Amino acid sequence: MVPITEAMKKMTQSEKLLRILTRLSHVVKTDTTSELFKSIKLQKHSSFPPTEESNTKKTASWLRERVLQLGPTFIKIGQLSSTRSDLFPHEIGTELAKLQDRLPAFSSTKAKGLIERELGAPGHELFKEFEDQPIAAASLGQVHQVVLHTGERVVVKVQKPGLKKLFDIDLTEYTSY
């Protein structure tokens, strides 16, 4: 049996989304009459974790990890889904809410480089201090605390590199259907 991560590497983004939606269709609250899941006839895949109620937290964590692997377009979908308590069990919503501001950050060196390129000056000229650990990291960027040369404490939001290309790839694939 091929591990799920290996199988997902070989799939297109559409196939990955279909598998995630399949998984979601099996954990949606039974009392919910969701037109989304009624209209999509999906089959159960045996490579997904079990859906017993005792495993809902494990399933929720698994789902969040898969969404992270799919990239920023799907992270945005996960973020939106986290607010839909009418569609998903509490555990799913709680886990997907982690996609709001608790995502893996990119390196502070890369963040500093992006800031320097965007503002056209070296970091030491822009800031007296730069906090390497971001205070938040989300799908589109991360936030760093800095101290200006005036002594004023402010935050700087840095957009993740390559977002446009990633969104273009996802959107091109989905508009071709």
pLDDT in tens, the chain (177 residues): 445 555 555 666 556 665 665 555 444 444 343 433 333 333 333 344 545 555 778 888 888 988 888 888 888 889 999 998 888 888 889 999 999 878 889 999 999 999 999 999 999 999 999 999 999 988 889 999 999 999 999 999 999 888 888 878 777 766 655
pLDDT at position 72: 84
| Distance in angstroms (rounded) separating the CA atoms of residues 59 and 52 | 9
Let me know: does 159 contact 140? Beta carbons within 8 Å. yes
| Distance in angstroms (rounded) separating the CA atoms of residues 135 and 145 | 7
The H helix count followed by the E strand count for the chain is: 9, 4
Classify 101 as helix, strand or coil. coil
Classify 146 as helix, strand or coil. strand
